[in-house]
Amino acid sequence: MKSKKQTALKWTINLSFVFISFIALFPILSLLVSSFRPASDLMRNGISLTFSLSELTVENYTYIFTQASEYWQWYGNSLIISSLTIVLSLFFSSMVGYSLAVYDFKGNNFIFLLVLFIIMVPFEILMLPLFQLFIDLRLMDTYLAVMLPLIVAPIAVFFFRQYALGLPKELMDAARIDGTTEYGIFFKIMMPLMLPSFAAMAILQGLASWNNFLWPLLVLRSNDMFTLPIGLASLLTPYGNNYDILISGSVMTIIPIIILFIFFQRYFISGLSVGGVKG
């Protein structure tokens, strides 16, 4: 009797997860199906899962690959900005978080409190002073203007600090006895131990940079510098909506994120779980 109840409970839980998964995937499935529908049909009926097989076409994707040169300009901008942001953010944020975790220096706790305070402040409050700062630095309409606010992300610093608190200090002491410099300890010994945290932050920072809309909208001026979110949003105008690029182009924006997650999924879960409980 107990075994039957456990089996029924197991099936109920599995079916519940399948239902929740379908709800989560429904927008993506609707977008994918709609990307193969003609633009005229999209304007009449909108995005949905209802379709006729005879109406499906690959013309939207053909147009993107053959005529939509500006779309690939936006795609390239997003790839460059996101890639550089991930690399620089992981490098600098990990060093800051690591130093706050393993070194006891004057002002350590105060700096960490500042990091926590910045995490609690909405970015919208910081945008105006940041906007004025980049105008003064003459960095408007550049890649740097988009990347700099994300390079040392407070949430990444906090995450790396929590993870580094659990690193074995004995390895550091042994390395110092062997004459290894502090930089050597970090890059040769501690960084390999922090790979799960790097993988988790690579995905989260990559998502944040790839989907970033409001800040690039403020600092980017020319069409050639637009990122994908801004470029796709610019297709919706009072004078016409380019659904043939908008829908199929939106589907293709998912590809880099899927590749990023597949590449780092081996360490992603362990990085989040360990980093959340250390310290």
CA distance 200 to 192: 14
CA distance 199 to 227: 24
Instruction: State the alpha helices, DSSP H only, in 35-68.
Output: 39-45, 59-66
In a domain, 47, yes or no: no
In a domain, 98, yes or no: yes
Report how many domains make up the chain: 1
Q: What is the CATH number of the domain that holds 116?
A: 1.10.3720.10
In a domain, 50, yes or no: no
Residues 227, 146: contact at Cβ < 8 Å?
yes
In the numeric block, the tokens 């799960």 are attached to 196
The predicted pLDDT at position 2 comes to: 58
In a domain, 83, yes or no: yes
In a domain, 130, yes or no: yes
The predicted pLDDT at position 279 comes to: 43
In a domain, 171, yes or no: yes
In a domain, 42, yes or no: no
The predicted pLDDT at position 240 comes to: 58
Checking DSSP bridges between strand 236-237 and strand 240-241, what pairing results, if any? antiparallel
CA distance 143 to 90: 18
In a domain, 36, yes or no: no
Range of the domain at 78: 61-277
pTM of the entire predicted model: 0.84
Residues 271, 197: contact at Cβ < 8 Å?
yes
The predicted pLDDT at position 60 comes to: 81
* 195-210 and 254-277 helices, crossing angle to 10°: 140
The span from the first CA to the last CA of the chain, in angstroms, equals: 44
Q: Residues near 135 by Cβ (< 8 Å), separated by ≥ 6? A: none
Residue 94: Cβ within 10 Å count: 24
The predicted pLDDT at position 275 comes to: 45
The predicted pLDDT at position 276 comes to: 44
The predicted pLDDT at position 217 comes to: 92
Each residue's pLDDT, cut to its tens digit, for the chain (279 residues) gives 557 777 878 888 888 988 898 888 888 888 888 888 887 777 777 777 777 777 788 888 888 888 778 889 999 999 999 999 999 999 999 999 999 998 888 888 899 999 999 889 888 888 989 999 999 999 999 999 999 988 888 999 999 998 888 888 888 888 888 888 888 888 888 888 888 889 888 888 999 999 999 999 999 989 899 999 998 888 876 665 677 778 888 888 888 888 888 877 776 666 555 544 444
